[in-house]
Amino acid sequence: MVTDSSTHVVEHPSWDGRRGVSIEYELLSRVDGSARFGFDDVGVLASVSGPIEVRLAVENSTKATFEVSVRPLAAIPGTDAKALAATIKSLLTPSLLLTRYPRTLIQLVVQPLSPSLVGSPKAIPSLHPGTAAASINASSLALMNASVAMEGVVCAVAIARTSSKDLILNPTADQLVSSTASGCFAFIFTTAELSNDRLHASEVWSNWQSSLGFDVAEMFGARELAQQGARHVWELMKESIGSVGVRRSDDGEVKAESTGRLPGDGGDEDKMEI
Amino acid sequence: MAATSVPSEEIRAATFQRLYPKTYLERFLQENVRPDGRDFLEFRDCSINVGSISTADGSSLVRLGDTTVVCGVKAEIAEPDLDAPEDGFLVPNLDLPPLCSPKYKPGPPSDDAQVISSRLNEALILSGMLPTKSLCIQPGKFVWVLYVDATCINYNGNVFDATLLAMVAALKNARLPKAVYHEETNHVTCSRKLREPLSLSGTPLASTFGVFDSSHLLADPTAFEEPLLETTVTIITDNGGRLLSTSQLGQYLPPEMDVLSECITNAKSRTTEIMKHILAI
């Protein structure tokens, strides 16, 4: 078991050349799985513990109880953190095979690592789409890192519409403040047929808002763009999994090292501890 | 036969509903009707009553079917934030007491109440209904703080729609005392007699739908239907018929089921109906 943080950082220039994605597996030693996901300046750390013992009040005899908590960077969690946690729980639950772990708890803790849009009275912190998208991606990675049985992987991206009616993927904080509409879209990626590797995407969360109003066609356009973006995120995630446990020595040489626990794409139940 | 009375039809149906809620709902949907007799895309009748709480600066009582929400607006004067010296505060909050439903226990606000309060705040900010700059009395020194407190007194599902409607109605009904800033004494005095309405622009309206079993789209779910719907869609429109926000959350649906378009059409037609009543407040 690796005791210190062995990280593999995946840096990719974004598909539109402006924003990069970074994925790190923190390998926190006290939880079953952890991961950090970043869209340039917005980073989120997620950790998963489970299946672990569940308190009687929330125990379910047929499936695991899935609890999500979001801890903001500053101050105690308020109602917006609760709202984001409830959203994440609703959109991740369809992807988890909770019936595999009855009478247990799977606990996900999400920690944004960058402050949300503060100082602007019109800021809606919980719905900062970039943080929401990064939180969802980090959660998916952490769940995979913890080898929780999953039906598919949920990937999310944020989209904003500029004043010139362009749609941009993964907007920066400044771009968001000056945007006229924004939203976050999350898709679950499953391999529909096991024989060929065809990837199938369905949306689990789509959210689009504008204080100036918008038309349906624009929202569908944003969703299309988001699906492509989410697919790209999925590919980056898949690439990152293969390199967990690879340690770079001081002179930059790559040494493979067994971590004793490999994350799977779900379904690794023989390596599961209950 | 033992001396026990045969349970009536009603009791048998109620027992079945308790033991097999999903099958119970399926049986109704197969007959193209919902347990309360509504069509799939039919919203419950709603009634709005304003001004009933005399101690509040504005109040409303909204009934969406059986779901009843009381909302009151109270104003206070406070110092503004240092980085936003001309902005007042709008603090919406929803309380879900044990009075309204057996699923809420006494104690700190439940998760449901917190999540809905947060979403209501987002909806009000998004609609720009009450720009916080309009609550300024003296920049940097005194601003209004409006507490918009809603309490659900009967819970039969879709409390988000009902509460947003109640808050909008209460804000429209609100009359704040005229506040005058006196520079010499650095004081604000409020008129006892002169009351003026808030400067509101844009009134949001929420319409919530749910999808059952990846096959049926139901509008305005009741408390019985809510836990059985795996996907929820909420559309927020404003009085100009514009779309402010669409949100679809939950279990993924088959691609041929694009519920968003249907929900949006339905929400827009409902907006024209309801807005007539809100604007009359």
Q: What is the average per-residue pLDDT within A80-92?
A: 91
Residue B70 has pLDDT above 50, yes or no: yes
pLDDT at A170: 84
Three-class DSSP category at A208 = strand
A248 pLDDT band (50/70/90 cuts)? very low
Chain A residues closer than 8 Å to B127 by CB: 211
Quote the CA–CA distance of B88 and B143 in Å, as a whole number: 5
The residue-averaged pLDDT of B72-84 equals 93
A210 contacts B245? CB cut-off 8 A: yes
Q: Which residue has the higher pLDDT, B192 or A20?
A: B192
Contact B246 A207 (CB under 8 A): yes
- For residue A255, the model assigns a pLDDT of 41
Contact B249 A216 (CB under 8 A): no
- Residue A142 scores a pLDDT above 90: yes
Q: What DSSP letter does each residue of A115-149 carry, written as one string? A: --S-S-TT--GGG-HHHHHHHHHHHHHHHHHTT--
Structure tokens at B258: 């694009």
| Residue of chain B nearest A214, judged by CA positions | B243
Taking CA atoms, B161 is separated from A176, A239, A249, B170, B266, in Å, by 28, 43, 58, 14, 14
Q: Does B227 touch chain A (CB under 8 A)?
A: no
Position B246 scores a pLDDT of 92
The amino acid at A75: A
pLDDT of B260 over the 70 cut: yes
Chain A residues within 8 Å of chain B (Cβ atoms): 78-80, 82-83, 86-87, 90-91, 94, 119, 121-122, 124, 126-127, 188, 202-216, 219
The model's confidence at residue B5, banded by pLDDT at 50, 70 and 90, is low
Question: Between A and B, how many residue pairs show a Cβ–Cβ distance under 8 A?
Answer: 96
Token pair, residue A257, equals: 């090292």
pLDDT of the residue at A99: 95
Name the average pLDDT for chain A. 78
Question: Would you state the pLDDT for residue A254?
Answer: 42
Q: Which of A98-107, A119-128, B124-133, B261-270 has the lowest mean pLDDT?
A: A119-128
| Contact by Cβ (8 Å): B213, B26 | yes
- pLDDT, one tens digit per residue, over A191-211 is 765 445 667 788 889 899 888
Sign of CA dihedral B160, B164, B167, B173: negative
Residue A262, pLDDT score: 44
> B88 — alpha (psi -120 to 50), left (phi > 0) or beta?
beta
Partner-chain contact A83 B247, CB within 8 Å: no
Q: Does B132 touch chain A (CB under 8 A)?
A: yes
**CB–CB of B121 and A202 under 8 A?**
no
Chain B partners of A80 at a C-beta cutoff of 8 Å? 118, 121
Least CA distance to B262: which residue of chain A? A216
Does the pLDDT of residue A10 top 60, yes or no? no
CB-based contact, B230 to chain A, within 8 Å: yes
- Residue B211 has a pLDDT of 93
User: Radius of gyration (Cα) for chain A, nearest Å?
Assistant: 19
Q: What is the pLDDT of residues B228-242, one digit of tens each?
A: 998 999 999 998 888
Q: ipTM of this complex > 0.95?
A: no
Question: What is the mean pLDDT of the segment spanning A153-180?
Answer: 85
Mean pLDDT along residues B159-184: 94
Q: Which residues pair with A36 in a beta bridge?
A: A24, A45
Q: How far apart are CA A144 and CA A18, in angstroms?
A: 28
Alpha-carbon span B197 to B96, nearest angstrom:
28
Going by pLDDT thresholds of 50, 70 and 90, the confidence category of residue A59 is very high
Question: Of the candidates A82, A122, A206, which has its C-beta nearest B118's C-beta?
Answer: A82
* A207·B83 Cβ contact <8 A: no
The answer to whether A209 contacts B132, with C-beta atoms less than 8 Å apart, is no
pLDDT of residue A167: 85
Give pLDDT tens digits for B177-231. Answer: 999 999 999 999 998 888 999 989 889 999 999 999 888 999 999 999 999 998 9
Residue A121 has pLDDT above 80, yes or no: no
Handedness of CA A145, A147, A148, A149 (dihedral sign): positive
Correct CATH for A8-273 of 3.40.50.720, 3.30.230.70, 3.40.50.300, 3.40.50.800: 3.30.230.70
pLDDT one-digit tens code per residue, B131-144: 989 999 999 999 99
Residue A9 pLDDT greater than 60, yes or no: no
Taking the CA of residue A96 and the nearest CA in chain B, the distance in Å comes to 11
Q: What residues in A contact B132, CB-CB < 8 Å?
A: 121
| Residue that wins the pLDDT comparison between A50 and B264 | B264
> Residue A25 pLDDT more than 70?
yes
Q: Which of B84, B115, B128 is nearest residue A211 as measured by Cβ atoms?
A: B128
pLDDT bracket for residue A127 (50, 70, 90): low
In terms of CA atoms, which chain A residue is nearest residue B92?
Answer: A79
What is the DSSP code string of B163-228? HHHHHHHHHHH-EEEEEEEETTTTEEEEEEEEEEE------EEEEEEEEETTTEEEES--TTTGGG
Tell me the pLDDT band of A270, cut-offs 50, 70 and 90: low
Domains and CATH numbers, chain B: 46-279 (3.30.230.70)
Q: Is B228 on the interface with A (CB under 8 A)?
A: no
In sign, the C-alpha dihedral spanning A58, A59, A60, A65 is positive
Helices within B31-141 (DSSP H only): 111-127
Any idea what the Cα angle at residue B167 is, between residues B164 and B171, rounded to 5°? 140
